Structure 1
């Protein structure tokens, strides 16, 4: 038994990073009674969508991920959002450490599509920890593993995600297209004399009979 325990104290949006990033403030406790020299910590962050309520607008936005609402009993399942890691410096008893959570607004990523559809409330997260703990041992140092069952839950406010995205993509976002689709879109824009990509997409949507906001 290693005696390690983890909790998430807070998650904040980092305002001055080259790419979108959240930072989770972790508290690590170790009651094994020996000084920890370092921890190589790995973390899998999962979203547990079944742990929150959704209003009508959110259900509409999530239809592409989970299907119609009457199927959600079967389709609403936890999924991996990201994997991240950090190195924890030496401590005795308890320490607080920052864990960087690099994010993307790529709509090919399930997590981004899910978060984009949420209007308010919290994002139910689960942090699953693993890694290696280095301590003093009989041969100069000891090594033990972070138990597989070390985890922590946290409800991240949707507003934190939106704050991070707004600082990097103010009133905008992006999608990735195949080269052929991009060439066709650029050709359509040029032939119609459209002045922006927004106008190009709105023109295509209007032509398909979709309601354009």
Structure 2
């Protein structure tokens, strides 16, 4: 942006959205602008990344992260920042500063790296990095001006693990999601019907018990 105008962003809080049909976190973002003209609107985008190297892990958490990062002795090479999600919102006009809610749609699919990581955590915080981008529309005395949010606008936030667990407990109490191939799902459905089982949870439990007996 020009030297006469700039906008900065800071993540103030993250909480579960209580009335959403699907799992959504709401990030409260503070915005500060420096310039003479009021902001007409901002089309804000954010890339949210997880930075696993910014925190420590218990032995139990380390076991849950084996699939993602390998054994602990390799973490110096494997624990890199990775993308969790993209999110966006439109911010109405303001002068000087404002606060807005940035919706963050989440998934509990264990095949997704972010969900695997979050599921393994038992305590502490989740180290997040927000990389902001988008377009600022400024209304001046001679009309509108359009400026891009600079590439270096970012913020870090330590989200408590309890926030994630509260969100998942509200939408999937005592449950999780595993993605299966279509042919695997067909075979599992047939096994369930042949053995008169009511649900897939009972079906998988029976298969696990049979496998343990055969081991």
What TM-score range do you get, normalising by the shorter chain? over 0.9
- What residue in structure 2 maps to residue 26 of structure 1? 29
Indicate yes or no: 2:120 matched with 1:117: yes
Aligned to 2:160: 157
CA-CA distance at 1:26 after TM superposition: 0.3
Distance 1:137 1:42 in 2: 24
Residue by residue over 1:114-173, the C-alpha shift from the partner in whole angstroms, topping out at 9 and shown as x without a partner, is: 111111110000000001111134751111110000001100011011101111111112
Quote the residue 2:16 is aligned against. 13
Give the 4+ runs in structure 1 shifted more than 4 A.
none
Structure 1 residues not aligned, in runs of 5+ = none
Q: What is the deviation of 1:186?
A: 2.1
The residue that corresponds to 1:99 in the other structure is 102
1:208 partner SS: helix
Q: Is the 8 A contact 2:38 2:140 kept in 1?
A: no
Contact 2:11/2:28 (8 A) holds in 1: yes
Aligned length: 210
The TM-score, its normalising length taken from structure 2, stands at 0.92
Q: How does 1:1-213 map to 2 (within 5 A)?
A: 1=3, 2-137=5-140, 139-209=142-212
Q: Is the 8 A contact 2:16 2:167 kept in 1?
A: yes
- TM-score, normalization by structure 1: 0.93
SS at match of 2:130: strand
Q: Secondary structure at the match of 2:117?
A: helix
Where structure 2 has 5 or more consecutive residues not aligned to the other structure, the ranges are none
Aligned-pair CA distance for 1:181: 0.3
Asked whether the 8 Å contact 2:111–2:178 carries over to 1, the reply is yes
User: Residues 155, 36 of structure 1: CA spacing in aligned structure 2 closer, same or farther, 3 A cutoff?
Assistant: same
The separation in 1 between residues aligned to 2:135 and 2:192, in whole angstroms, is: 54
RMSD, matched Cα: 1.6
